Amino acid sequence: MLITAGAGMGIDSGLPDFRGINGFWAKYPALLKLGINFEEMASPHWFIDNPHLAWGFYSHRWMLYKKTQPHEGFAILLNLVSTKRSFFVFTSNVDGHFQKAGFHENHILECHGSINHLQCFNNCGQALWSLPEDYKFSIDQDTLLAKDPLPYCPSCRGIARPNILMFSDASWDFVRGDEQKSNFTEWQNGNKFRSLTIIEIGAGIDVPTVRMTSESLYRDWDKNVTFIRINPQDFDSPPGTYVIKMSALQALRQFGKKK
């Protein structure tokens, strides 16, 4: 079984998907005043031009993801994959909620990285690291500016940044991502002659990496494939796909009942 998940997977946990401009600005009114949308804010240049604003944005997200618990659907999925011979998770979410829900790190590919891992902005050679669970950020709510001290590289003392693949990002440290890709490739090679079930959840069309991955494997897999797309809005799908026009949690609760 392959689980592919986009931002819609986290909405039922109470997380924003950041794709709707009005919803994004409602969450970050300071950015509305500045006229900065999500695509503009999610760019590495802010760590040079205005690192306090960059960390104001990302520290708010880090704290939000930390305090939010994965919804019931994660547990339903974990129970479901426990009945399978083998499984993998491919997700564009950077919140670490699959790991938080109990999925093993070696069976997850986070194609856009993780907010729970930091890197040196200058790529000085420092390996990725994580902030302590009890790390405290202080943010000015009116300006979204994080207050000093900001996270810094333990080796060169330069500015740190989340290990997230941002827009126009030439400095992303891809070492952890490459390890996850290697695990995913190994998993595919080890299972390519077995039947596959793909459950895609909440994968939108604005950044279509998850949808493209699901559809590519559905098209090219060597054995029989069952493809289930769960999405209340973006439900156009290849022929033969099972489409469930529900939110993640609504659909997964139905899976739990059937099991």
**Active-site residue 112, yes or no?**
yes
Write out the two tokens for 75.
């547990």
Write out the two tokens for 244.
């469930």
Radius of gyration of the chain (CA): 19
Distance CA 213, CA 169 (A): 21
Tell me the H-state helices in 68-154: 72-81, 97-100
Residue 15: which of 77, 65, 76 has the closest Cα?
Answer: 65
Q: Which of 71, 97, 112, 117 is catalytic?
A: 112
Question: How far, CA to CA in Å, does 172 sit from each of 161, 165, 169, 179, 236?
Answer: 9, 6, 6, 14, 32
CB distance 199 to 1 below 8 Å: yes
Distance CA 217, CA 223 (A): 11
Strand, helix or coil at 176? helix
Residues facing residue 13 across a β-bridge: none
Catalytic positions, written as ranges: 112
